[in-house]
Structures are given as C-alpha cells and as structure tokens.
A and B are shown apart, each in its own frame.
Chain A
Amino acid sequence: MAEKKKGLNLNRVDMPRQDPKERIKNFNEVALGYTEEMAVAEAERCLLCKKPLCVEGCPAEVKIPEFIALIREKKFVEASRKIKETNALPAVCGRVCPQEEQCEEKCVLNKKGAPIAIGRLERFVADYEAAVGAVEKPEIAPSTGKKVAVVGSGPGGLTVAADLAVMGHEVVVFEALHKPGGVLVYGIPEFRLPKVIVEREVEYIKSLGVKFECNVVVGRTVTIDDLMEKEGFDAVFIGVGAGAPIFMGIPGETLKGVYSANEFLTRNNLMKAYLFPEYDTPIKVGKKVAVVGGGNVAMDAVRTALRLGAEEAHIIYRRTRKEMPARAEEIENAEEEGVIFNFLVNPVEIIGDENGWVKGLKCIRMELGEPDESGRRRPVPIPGSEFIMEVDTVIMAIGTRANPVVPMTTPGLETNKWGYIIADEETCKTTKKGVFAGGDIIRGAATVILAVGDGKKAARAIDHYLRTGEW
C-alpha cells in the first residue's frame, strides 16, 4: 500500500472537461474523466478513515475507503468490483449522483473545503473495468424455478433484475418504451451520461439471463394480475418511476412552442431528434428559450436547448441559486456554457401570437419569506412587479408525478394521496401480496442511487419471499 502522506493534501484533482465554447456545439460528454495518474493522485489524498463518514452519506453504503485504497494500489478492476458489491451501476452513479450532498458532503476533508472526489473516482474505475473488458459475471445460484416480473427498466428495475438473476430466479423486465433504461435513456442527455454506458449495463444484465420485453405498458398491454395469474410470475417488482409531467396551470400552456421537459428531452435523447432528418423525429428550438425550474431536469433541458442552437437560453427559477436542487457541478457547467439565470422570478402567463406560437413569457418577481415544510424559504410574489420576457420557446421543468396506469389497473395496490405506491421502507413490500415497488414511484421524483438502493433491498426481500413464502 502506498505510504500515507503526512500533512493534509487539499488539492482536489480537477477532472478535464470539454471547453465550453466547443461543447455547446456538440452532444458529446462534457466531462472527460480522470487518467490513471489523476485517479491515483486523488486517491492518495484519502485518509482511509477508520470510521468513514463518507459511507454514512452514501444511500448504497458503497465501501468507499476500501475501493479508494485499491485505486492507490492501481487495482482498478478490483476497485470497481468492490463498488459493485453494493451498487450495480457505478459508471452511471459516478456521473449523476449528487455527491456534494451525499458522500462528499460527509467526507472529513469537506470541512477543509476539499472533499475527496469520490464520484470521479467511482466513474474512473467503472470505465476502466469496462474499457479493459474485465467486466466479470458473478456466479449464478442454481435455478430456484421461481419467476419474477420487473415492471419498468429504470435504475431501480435494472438493479432488482440483476440481483434476482444472480440469486437464481428467472426474471423478465417489462418496459413501456422501445428501449430499456428509464430516465437514464429518455431523460438524462448524452452530454452528461453517454447512452453506450446504459446500453452496456443492460447488456451485462442480459448476460446474467434476464429477459427484456419492451413495448409493454403494464396496465394496458397486460395487467399485474395477468402476469401473476396467467403468466406464472411468482412476484412482481414495480419500478415505473414518476414520469407524468406537471404543467403550471397558467394561461397559454397549450400554445405552440411550449414543451414539458419530458417531451423536449425525450425527443432529443430517446428519439435522437438532434440528428434530424437522419432520424425521423423533429424538434424545434427557438432563438430565445426559457426553461422554468431549478433542478437537474431544468439544467438538462436548458443545456440541450443551447446545443440545439438557441441564441439565448434562460433559467427561470422562483428562489435563488442557493436553493436550486440541481447538482452543483451541472449548475457550474450551465453557467460556463452561457445559460442566463433569472432568480426570484415566476411565470404567470405565456403569451401567444396570432398564429398560436409563443412570443413571450409574463413573469412576476419574488422574494423569500418564511421557511416552508422543506426548510427552504418560501418564495412570495412582489405585487405589481410583472414583466414580459420575449421568448419563443418555453420548457416546463417544474417536476413530475406518478402515472396512475399501474395502480388504477391493479386491485389491492394502495397509493398515498399523491398517487405514489405505498411500500415498506425496508422491504419494498406493497399492500398487495407478492408485489414490491421501489424508486421514484414510491418516493416521488428522487435520485438514481435511491432507486438502486430500493432495487437492492427489494431483491433481498423478494428472494426471501420466494424461498419461504412468508409475506
């Protein structure tokens, strides 16, 4: 093992990125990743704490100091496998987790302002393992003769499918869209998460024996009761996400030029509209684009708009930069790329021209009042402060909610008042025997790693249920 440095090294190793001027002209990944030398240098900074606080911050309890120690020894493949013991999707999570609120926030070195770049190290080892072709199949337990249906192929569904296959169960994943991956393929753009990475994960899971059936909208094409009663599935995991878009309910939302972020991103990511007319799906981005919202979805939409050729791309957010829920790194990226941030502003009406196209967005200025239930200060409108922004495209990225199709068609499956499926926190058991649920459909829009965590828990609980029959 490399020798421990004496004093603290507070020089976080930067990760190379594409130049902002260049990258806004392409959809290639912005971050270029560490080299071996960089990874080792960053790993050398780690104190390998006996009581690692970073792990407490990780919803998947990744063995962080252990994998970092392996990087120091240049055992990159082993490091990747160490992560995979608890997180099946390190190449994805290394790229999209909000590390600054999780492991890196808790890292002791964060007190000095220089936490270990755990996410960058995670992606480095996962990419390394894939690049050298070392991805190894775990040993698969003897067949149990039990069949599990996984509904939805987002990070939650993929995780549960992989784990159950390794445990010896027969697994079929049913996906509504024509391609597996969930938000990872239709929502998060190529420049942040290359689709080959998701494809690689799906191929790996297929290699474990998991079958994928796309173009199946459970609740329409087949119901959960059909799967259990007619198709012989012994258990079902529901990981359908929270995919229904929310509009603001303000006048003008059906004008031409108004998109939900889901539509805008799906056209571009899943359907590859940025390659129109080579690909058949069109997308329109005007000269001046306003994206309403302050989360990851809003950042993805606004940066996509820039890359599609928008001259001006605005974020309209009703609180301030501090309250923005997006990953810090993506906010910085957006700033570098020239996105214009309008804080303490909220839309009240979309204004159309005589042909039904958007020509402006009427907004009102806000100020921060008392904290609300989430602890963030509540934005309140300032009377009489309305103004009109001239824009020709408006993208709503103010959140999503549960799609009711599965609960509506599944007797005995209960939801809470927001329409999310009620499930036990530890086991992901729903109110219907044999049916489990996890990810955004039980939490509301959350994160990839929480969906992965649910997948892990659910796999253990499903395995237990299938082996013992105990509910």
Chain B
Amino acid sequence: MYKIIEKRDWHPTICEMWVEAPRVARKHRPGQFVIIRIHEKGERIPLTVVDKKPEEGLIRIIFQKVGKTTWELGTFQPGDYIADVVGPLGQPTHIEKFGTVVGIGGGVGIAPLYPILKGMKEAGNKLITILGARSKGLLILEDEMRAISDELIITTDDGSYGKKGLVTDALKELIDSGVKIDQAVAIGPAIMMKFVVKTLEPYKIPCIASLNAMMLDGTGMCGVCRVTVGDQVKFVCVDGPEFDGYLINFDELMSRLTVYQEEEKIALEKFKKEHPEIFAGVE
C-alpha cells in the first residue's frame, strides 16, 4: 500500500500527487515511469514519475482525468492509499550535453517532459521549452518549467494564454528565427509528436519522443505495448518509452490506443452513474 501524502488540483481534470514509494524514489531516473493499480479491482496504468524526494521516499505524479481509473484516482485524498505502485520502469532518458535542446510538451505530456528537461539542463544544455495546452486553465508546471528553461514559449489552442496556435507553429517560428537546435524532445498526444517530427524533418533535427502506449504489466511480459520502430517491433515498457521520433510508426500507435475504446466508455459511464457528484459542473 502506497500512501498519498499531498495532492493538488491543477484543474478539475488535472491532478498532482506526492506518493510514498521509497524504493521507486531511490532508483528513479528521468524518463522512467511507474505502473499503479488503485485498488483490488483496479486496472494497471502507467504514469510518469515527474519528480522525487528520495530522502523522504516520495514520488510525484501528475495525471489527466481521461477515463475511469484516472477519474477515480482523482477522488483519492492525502492519507488514502494506492494499492500498488511498481517501478521505476522503462529505460532512463539518454541525457548528455547536446548544446541547445528544445523541449516540446503538449497537454499533460508536459508532466513527463519536466524531469527529462531538468536532466538536460543539469547536463549543461541550453534549454528552450515550448508548452502547449488547449486553454490557459489546462496549462501545468509553467513556473517550474520557467525556472529551468533559458527560454519558455507558451501556446494555447484558443489563444487564452501565450501565443494562439499549436506547439508546432511555435517550433516552426523558432527554427525560422535561425536558432540552431541540436536535439529535440517531444512528449504529448501521439498526433502532436507526429507533427513535431514532421516539422523538424526538413532540418534533420534529431528528436526523441516518449510514447504513451497501452500497458499491462510494464515488465516485458505481455507485449501489449508493442510498437513498430523502424523495421523492428519494440516493447515500449522495456525498450522505451523513448524512441527516435523519426522511426516511430505513430499511426499504428494511435490505432492501437483505440483497442478498448468501447470498454473504456462503458467503464466511465458506469462510474459516472455511481458518482454523479464528482462530475457535477465539469465539462
């Protein structure tokens, strides 16, 4: 059992928690994630370790409420327990001094991007960060990102904050302004990462992307997280979650994320019916 120590609601649909998981906190490196199961009947879902305090045995998670499990986890309060937390899983990010690194984060993908960019900054890179959200209220970690970035650019789809537009627009502008970029890191919805790579392609700027595939065990035992990278099938949980953006078959990734769409809907509808109060006033 893993105790929730602190909780913060960034938005009615975005939630942050500090959770007691001493072994994970000790071993975690940027880019790695945990799999959690919220209770005895729960499913196993992956969440990135956004930050940690090894001395206190704590890890920080930030999640977007998109389905039954994340909505239900959002109802947990400090003092409550998560049944299972296992990790750290996946390969740590390859961090080195590249020169100028551009980090591109979309939506809650900003959360997993944060530890990686922090690592990049600590390795001596110049860091330019582009964060995108649908609207101002959905933007997370702005202050923390600002603290580690040499330059921070914000875009919102509706123009309610920062520049109006998509992260790819801001990225294109940055490249056009003549900034020499040595390495890009993109994390967000698969479609965003796909278009970030498309934007970078003409300039041959290397880009790693972190994939949010479906997962079950997270240890290489089931294969549900498989994705085609170049001419090979890889398991995101053990070979990834980061891969060379140019080699990833994003269309396949997006397609595979829809396998359980119907069931996800059934589960969420059932949960809504049982707990209408949680959803009152939320779009």
With A215-B84, A262-B221 as contacts: A256 and B226 at CB distance below 8 Å: no
Q: Known contacts A221-B23, A244-B220, A260-B223: does B233 contact A253 (CB below 8 Å)? A: yes
A324 within 8 A of B: no
Q: Are A403 and B256 neighbours in the complex by a CB distance under 8 Å?
A: no
Complexed CA–CA distance, A279 and B223 (Å): 21
- The answer to whether residues A280 and B41 also contact, given A243-B221, A403-B219 and a CB cut-off of 8 A, is yes
Q: How far is the CB of A120 from chain B (nearest CB, A)?
A: 32
Does any Cβ of B come within 8 Å of A228's Cβ? no
| Structural contact, B263 and A256, CB atoms closer than 8 A | no
> Is the Cβ of B216 less than 8 Å from the Cβ of A267?
yes
Q: How far is the CA of A355 from the CA of B254 in the complex (A)?
A: 11
Find residues 250-268 in chain B having any chain A CB closer than 8 Å to their own CB: 252, 255-256, 258-260, 263-264, 266-267
Which of A245, A254, A272, A282 is within 8 Å of B256, CB to CB? A254
Instruction: Among B217, B259, B264, find the residue whose CB has the most chain A CB atoms closer than 10 A.
Output: B217
> B241: CB under 8 A from chain A?
no
Whole-angstrom CA separation of A178 from B42 in the bound complex: 11
| Residue numbers in A under 8 Å from B41 (CB-CB) | 272, 278-280
| Interface size band for B | 35 or more
User: A405 at interface (Cβ–Cβ under 8 A)?
Assistant: yes
Q: Tell whether A281 is near chain B: CB-to-CB under 8 Å.
A: yes
The one of B23, B37, B217, B258 that contacts A216, using a Cβ cutoff of 8 Å? B23
Q: Which of B86-94, B122-130, B191-199 contacts A (4 or more CB under 8 A)?
A: B86-94
The answer, yes or no, to whether B141 is at the interface (CB within 8 Å) is no
Asked whether, in the complex, the Cβ of A176 is within 8 Å of the Cβ of B86, the reply is yes
- Between A and B, how many residue pairs show CB distances below 8 Å? 113
B86–A262 CB distance below 8 A? no
Asked if B224 is at the interface of the complex by the 8 Å CB criterion, the answer is yes
In-complex Cβ contact of B238 among A266, A355, A405 (8 A): A405
Question: For B233, what are the chain A residues with a Cβ–Cβ distance below 8 Å?
Answer: 247, 253-254
Q: Which residue of chain B is the closest to A276 with respect to CB atoms?
A: B263
Is B146's CB within 8 Å of the partner chain A? no
Pick from B43, B86, B87: contact of A271, CB below 8 A: B43
Which of B84, B88, B221, B238 is A214 in contact with, Cβ under 8 Å?
Answer: B84
Residue tally, chain A, CB below 8 Å to B: 38
Inter-subunit contact A216/B260 (CB<8 Å): no
* Contact present for B223 and A280 (CB under 8 Å): no
Bitwise, B18-43 to A at CB < 8 A (1) or not (0) is 00000110010000000001000111
In the complex, residue of chain B having the shortest beta-carbon distance to the beta carbon of A249: B233
Kindly provide the distance from the CB of A267 to the nearest chain B CB, expressed in whole angstroms.
7
B27 engages A221 (CB within 8 Å): yes
Instruction: Name A214's closest neighbour in chain B (CB-CB).
Output: B84
Closest CB-CB distance, B244 to chain A, in whole Å? 18
Contact A256 B255 (CB under 8 A): yes
Q: From B89, which residue of chain A is reached at the shortest CB distance?
A: A220
**Interface pair A178/B238, CB less than 8 Å apart:** no
Q: Which of B182-233 contact A (CB under 8 A)?
A: 216-217, 219-224, 226-228, 233
Contacting pair B217 A177 (CB below 8 A): yes
When distances are taken between beta carbons in the complex, the residues of chain B under 8 Å from A176 are 86, 217, 219
Find out whether the CB atom of B24 lies under 8 angstroms from the CB atom of A221.
Answer: yes
Chain B residues contacting A277 (CB-CB under 8 Å) are 263, 266-267, 270
Nearest to A178 among chain B residues (CB) is B84
User: Inside 8 A of B23's CB, which chain A residues have their CB?
Assistant: 216, 221-222
- Interface-central residue, B24, B89, B219, B270, by most chain A CB under 10 Å: B219
Contact B216 A178 (CB under 8 A): no
B83, closest chain A residue (CB): A178
B44 within 8 A of A: yes
Are the C-beta atoms of A256 and B238 separated by less than 8 Å?
no
- B226 close to A254 (CB less than 8 A): yes
For the complex, is B69 an interface residue (Cβ under 8 Å from A)? yes
Given A276-B263, A280-B69: A356 and B252 interface contact (C-beta under 8 Å): yes
With A221-B23, A245-B223 given, is the CB distance from A282 to B260 under 8 Å? Answer: yes
Residue from the set A176, A221, A256, A272 with the largest chain B CB neighbour count within 10 Å: A221
* Bound Cα distance from A220 to B226, whole angstroms: 20
By a CB distance below 8 angstroms, the chain B residues around A243 are 219-221
**A222 adjacent to B86 (CB under 8 Å):** no
B68 within 8 A of A: yes
Kindly state whether residue A217 has any CB partner on chain B within 8 Å. yes
Q: Chain A contacts of B69 at CB under 8 A?
A: 280
- CB-CB under 8 A from A278, the residues of chain B are 41
Q: Which residue of A lies closest to B24 (CB)?
A: A221
Cβ proximity bits A243-279 to B, threshold 8 Å, 1 near / 0 not: 1110100000110110110110011000110001111
Q: Does A284 contact B (CB under 8 A)?
A: yes
5 A-B contact pairs sorted by A residue (CB < 8 Å)? A221-B23, A247-B226, A253-B233, A280-B42, A284-B263
Task: Give 8 A-B pairs besides A176-B86, A214-B84, A245-B222 with Cβ atoms closer than 8 angstroms.
Answer: A178-B84, A215-B85, A217-B87, A222-B27, A254-B256, A280-B42, A282-B264, A356-B256
